[in-house]
Structure 1
Amino acid sequence: MARPGDSESGNAATSRATERTPLLSSASQDAPRDAESAGNVESEGEGGANGDGADVKPGEESEETPLHILLPTMVALFSAIILSALDGVLVTTLLAPISSSFGESQKGTWLGTSYLISTTAFCTTFGKLADVLGRRPSMLLALFFFGLGNLGCALAPTMNALIAARSVAGIGGAGVQTMGSIIMGDLVPLRKRALWQGMANIVFCVGTSGGAPLGGVISATLGWRFGFGAQVPLLCISALLVTIFVRLPASREVQAQSLGTKIQHFDLAGIATLSVAVISSQTAISFWSGEELSFFHPRVGGLLLLAVLALTSFIYIEEYVAKEPVVPFRLLHNRNFALSTLFFFLVSFSIFVMSFHMPLFLETALLLSPAQTGLRTAPCAFAISIGSISAGVYIRRFGRFKTSLNLSNCLSIVSAIMLCTWDRKSTPSWFFFVSPIPLGLGAGFASTTALIALLSSLQKADLARANGLMYLSRNLGGVMGVGVGGAITQAALRVQLMERIKGQGAQETIDYIRHNAADLINLPRHLQEHAVDSYQAAVRVAFIVAAVSLTLTLLVCLPIREMGLDRAATASTAPAEASPPPPPSSSTLEEGDMSVSEASVANASITEGVRASQVRHEQGEVRK
């Protein structure tokens, strides 16, 4: 524990950290937290009762960490984040040779879907694991699953085995993003969190930008299995960096606890039922939108029924059974938390719809290649990073967020309206470059400020589980954006094609055009015109849906209250739940839970849109 005089003398900020001494003193470099909030919860170790890190009081803001500790730690975290970003793009680039080698191209899309489902289902699990096992062990566990999944992909004998291995890698991907954010939250004060969030977003951009060309080289020379296998030693290096530099020692009380005692505070039943509900619902959505099965099909209907039963069980367990619930429902009475959670669902839905359909429009309406499409969408991806960093600078300078949050939402709405006006015949070429940029700036800025709005309104002891729920909401919004947006587009495309193509063999032609977007350029001239016009009209419907969703995000954010960032965030409707041992210090745990992941979500969704265009192109090549 830090000496009582350290916070006053300032020595805590420069003293050498060891496994037995905290990196952060108990006093904040910013203005002290509210005394009442600070008194609710006693000082805990890293992650609180079950943590593994700095001795930071839940009622106080984290003190700024010395650079000689912060920078090596960030290097270790960013090494894992960049590998996670690189992995996603590699898989999309290698999809065509993978499908060809197994002769099952119809299952290719499940390589990405299985990963996304696992990531969504296990994000809250790692938020709790950080309390139970500690920061560094949880991060190493995430890297273990990530490496195990990639090793399984490299050795997979069948397509089904490869899909299962991608699900395992998704568990690790959820942990890498979540734990990176949590550890950043331990080390960076709230006012500077957004700035580091933007830096993490740039790192993610570098990984996604380098993945496509690297995947192309690997596919042409070394084979797709090497693309997965080569990540394993890199992940081992990242794990070594985490082991060396991520040193957030636990308090003596935490170190004295047995593993059994820690597990007693782990809501296994709640996490299990929530995971079943998430996996079942997302798989049902994938069957409905991707394989065009009706809601009454046994696969879809059965999975939705299972999801409802699991969700009902989860609510009952959290409300009446769990001693330390993963999701304390009392938090929903907190205005900023409830509205911010809804915001992240809506903005993720909107961004995923836009980012998946921008490449689709460019590739089908303008008949651009995947490389040209990537060039057109790149400015939007980089604008997200700029928006996030700008938000960090603004919040650090002024300590306020509400006005900027509303203005950034307006900027995104303007961009969505501009995209709704896209026309292949009348829109100038430069407009396709410029119009998505405000969307990136607004999304990056809004995601950062909404994160700060949530963090500033909760008690420290509630932040871990609160951020876990918000993280889940964000991922569900992304999945719904992909599934619902795709289903709406396909329905509109079917109607448009049926109006334009008639006569003998019309249905076969329509089905071919709907499922082979990459082959439009090879169609006869008269069919190509019909197909291009139909795709343009169908994608415009998706753009309109996204614009409406973004308008709802603005309305949701209007009632959010401005909270001071230099004092305790004690706006929770009830004090932190008391339970022996003391409740997890979610302050340090997931105060930054969204720091990396929320910063990169919009950026990741833009990247996913480019990936989707590549997948369509490569699957078309496989079919030919």
Structure 2
Amino acid sequence: MKQPKRPLILLAVMLAMFVSAVEATIVSTAMPSIAADLGGFSKYSWVFSAYLLMSTVTVLLYGKLADLVGRKAIFAFGMLLFLFGSLLCGLADSMEQLIAFRFIQGAGAGAIMPIASTIVGDIYSPEERAKIQGYLSSVWGISAIAGPAIGGVLVATIGWQYVFWVNLPLGILSLLGIVIYLKEPKRMERANIDYKGALFLTLALSSVLYLLIEGGVSFNWLSTPSFALALIGSVFMFWFVKAERASIDPMMPFEIWQNRAIRYANLVSLATGILLIGISSYLPAYVTGVMEQPAAIAGFTLTTMSIGWPIASVFSGRLLIKIGYFRTSLLGGAFLLFGTALFVFMQPGFGPLWAGMSSFFVGVGMGLTSTAFIVSIQSAVSYDKRGAATASNMFMRNLGSTIGVALLGSILNSSLLNRLNDAGSSLSLESVNAILSIDSRAKLPEAEKQALQEALAFGLRNVYSIAFLCALISVLLIFGLRGLKGVKPDVK
């Protein structure tokens, strides 16, 4: 359908993407302060996992509903739920409450990015999409500069609560723009919502998530709880696949995976989701706790990633037309390898500039690959499957992040415990809270502070080693895209 207000719709989409991008950078920057205030460093991973779990599960459901019901209604529901969750997060006075409210926030977030990207796919042709990525990517650059800077100021002045509340006015403006200006064709068919698939997927991922986060910390990996959780997750995942194959309108239409562009782009997104969350979630803790830098500097090290991302996305749109999907994606994979390798070799004495440079190269890699994947996927399917296809890619990246934050959080916690035990220290995981703020760090005896910093640096080096392995897997998978030339005519 012709859209007479395309510029205004694009502006609303950019605001929605800004809200999503700011959420990632601000919360990561504020987490050391939140942990120091609310306590519970052992639950650090759950703040990200709760959000990612719900956004991962709901992204497929929202994507399918957007095809069945319409983009506007589903986007509005998701945005309102996200904003309600953001309001509650700022009111939390314990880590447990914050985690519970992040579940609500994540349940709404699943609609924002995939439907915003789908709307762009609807109102622009493939050739225009490749070029419009420059505008969309500018959102990440602006949020990269504004997000951590604003977050650092808010944390240092009026409190971390406002890093959640900053979403409210921008989200409302975006919602009004989409509701007022987006015109959609009338839909006569009755929507068949795949509630059974959503339930099975939620239970499967929840079981696996709990196993990955608490395994090696609350119980041994080779123990009855571990085997029970693995079995429960496997059974529910089997039922999910079975339900999807039997459903009239499945959340995940498996036939789209037969398309090579979608299959390999989604597998790469799974691997990059793991490495991305490993860096963005824990880098502020390294810079704040080990390098002893303030929150604003920790935010800067994440800012460089988000600056590299949009810059690369602008070039990616042009490269897609000139050299094709495969070469553009392979170039992005090379940058991911280089950036994660720099993290593996990072030492506390290298300072925040090294961390920022490493983040920048990872951002370049993400910008080149993610833009190529979205454009290629949306060009490979018709309008009535574009929402589900776009959501499938978002789902795989979110799934990677969900698995990644749980797995890497478990690796970090177990590494910390082992390091502290090997050193003969009586310090616990909760002791790490003390090195995440200037005031509490100053009260620590020098020996304890050094032991905690060495343990945290050791644990995070293990995390970055896994991120490098995921980058290597991504490069190998990208070779599956060989032969895809470039932007093709739209599929109707």
User: What TM-score, normalized by structure 1, do the two folds share?
Assistant: 0.68
Matching residue of 2:287:
362
Structure 1 residues 98 and 556: alpha-carbon distance in aligned structure 2, compared to 1, 3 A threshold: closer
Whole-Å separation in 2 of the counterparts to 1:544 and 1:326: 34
CA distance in 1 between counterparts of 2:10 and 2:22 reads 18
Distance in 2 between residues matched to 1:456 and 1:352, nearest whole Å: 28
Match of 1:38 in 2: none
Counterpart pick for 2:68 among 111, 123, 132 = 132
2:364 counterpart residue number: 441
1:351 has 2:276 as partner: yes
User: Aligned in 2, Cα 1:411/1:281: closer, same or farther, shift over 3 Å?
Assistant: same
Q: CA RMSD in A?
A: 3.7
Q: 1:171 aligns with which of 85, 107, 113?
A: 107
Give the direction of change, closer, same or farther, for the CA distance of 1:358–1:142 in structure 2 (3 Å limit).
Answer: closer
In structure 1, what is the equivalent of residue 417 of structure 2?
A: 494
Q: CA distance change for structure 1 residues 356 and 166 in 2, over 3 Å: closer, same or farther? A: closer
Q: Which amino acid aligns with 1:267?
A: D
Structure 1 position 276 matched with structure 2 position 203: yes
Q: Quote the residue 2:121 is aligned against.
A: 185
Q: How does 1:132-531 map to 2 (within 5 A)?
A: 132-153=68-89, 163-207=99-143, 209-211=145-147, 214=150, 232=168, 235-248=171-184, 250-251=185-186, 254=187, 257=188, 261-263=189-191, 265-288=192-215, 292-295=218-221, 303-319=229-245, 321-396=246-321, 398=322, 400-425=324-349, 427=350, 431-458=354-381, 461-499=384-422, 501-502=423-424, 506=425, 508-509=426-427, 511=429, 513-514=431-432, 516-518=434-436, 522-531=443-452
CA contact (8 A) 2:29 2:295 kept: no
CA gap of 1:213–1:335, structure 2 versus 1, over 3 A, is closer
SS of structure 1 residue aligned to 2:324: coil
Residues 108 and 469 of structure 1: is their aligned pair in 2 closer, same or farther, counting only changes over 3 Å?
A: same
Task: Report Cα offsets for 1:204-223 as digits up to 9, x if no partner.
Answer: 44346444555566678777
The Cα shift of 1:515 comes to 5.5
Equivalent AA in structure 1 for residue 190 of structure 2: K
Per the alignment, do residues 374 and 156 of structure 1 end up closer, same or farther by CA in structure 2, a change over 3 Å counting?
closer
Q: Which residue of 2 is the match for residue 543 of structure 1?
A: 464
Separation in 1, partners of 2:410, 2:91: 34
Counterpart contact for 2:325–2:481, Cα < 8 Å: no
Supply the distance in 1 between the matched residues of 2:33 and 2:358 (Cα, whole angstroms).
35
The letter for the 1-side match of 2:260 is R
- Greater helix fraction, Structure 1 or Structure 2: 2
Q: CA deviation at 1:540?
A: 2.4
Distance in 2, Cα, partners of 1:534 & 1:157: 28
Letter in 1 for 2:477: V
Q: What amino acid sits opposite 2:368 in the alignment?
A: F
CA change 1:497–1:216 in 2 (3 A) is: closer
Letter matched to residue 444 of structure 1 = G
Q: Structure 1 residue 103: deviation in Å?
A: 8.5
Checking the alignment, whether the CA contact within 8 Å between 1:121 and 1:275 is kept in structure 2 is: yes
Asked if 1:23 is matched to 2:11, the reply is: no
Indicate conservation of the 8 Å contact 1:285/1:300, yes or no: no
Amino acid at match of 2:197: G
Q: Name the aligned partner's letter for residue 193 of structure 2.
A: F
Q: CA deviation at 1:568?
A: 5.2
Are 1:554 and 2:475 an aligned pair? Answer: yes
Q: Matched residues in 2 for 1:224 and 1:379: separation?
A: 22
Once the two structures are superposed, what CA deviation does each residue of 1:13-39 show, in whole Å capped at 9, x if it has no partner?
xxxxxxxxx217xxxxxxxxxxxxxxx
CA distance in 2, matches of 1:544, 1:471: 24
Give a deviation string over 1:311-335, Cα, whole Å, max 9, x none. Answer: 111211222x212333233344433
Contact kept? 2:376, 2:487, Cα under 8 Å: no
Counterpart-to-counterpart distance in 2, 1:161 and 1:429: 32
One-letter amino acid matched to 1:122: T
When residues 154 and 380 of structure 1 are mapped into structure 2, their CA distance, relative to the original with a 3 A threshold, is closer
- Count of residues paired in the alignment: 489
Unaligned runs of 5+ in 1: 1-21, 25-67, 571-586, 588-624
CA deviations 1:146-188 (Å, max 9, x no partner) are 2333455567798766544432222221112221111111112
Cα displacement string for residues 29-58 of structure 1 (whole angstroms, at most 9, x for unaligned residues)? xxxxxxxxxxxxxxxxxxxxxxxxxxxxxx
* Distance in 1 between residues matched to 2:359 and 2:156, nearest whole Å: 33
Alpha-carbon shift at residue 345 of structure 1 (Å): 0.5
Deviation readout 1:109-151 (Å, 9 max, x if unpaired): 6444322221111001111111222121222222222233345
Corresponding residue for residue 577 of structure 1: none
Q: How has the CA–CA distance of structure 1 residues 364 and 342 changed in structure 2, closer, same or farther, with 3 Å as cutoff?
A: same
Does residue 122 in structure 1 map to residue 58 in structure 2? Answer: yes
Q: How far apart are the structure 2 equivalents of 1:198 and 1:243?
A: 24
Report the Cα offset of residue 552 of structure 1: 1.2
Output the CA distance in 2 between the equivalents of 1:450 and 1:361. Answer: 31
Residues 304, 560 of structure 1: CA spacing in aligned structure 2 closer, same or farther, 3 A cutoff? same
Alpha-carbon offset, residue 381 of structure 1: 2.3
Distance 1:561 1:262, change over 3 A: farther
Structure 1 residues 172 and 204: CA distance shift in structure 2, 3 A = farther
- The 3-state SS of whatever aligns with 1:262 is coil
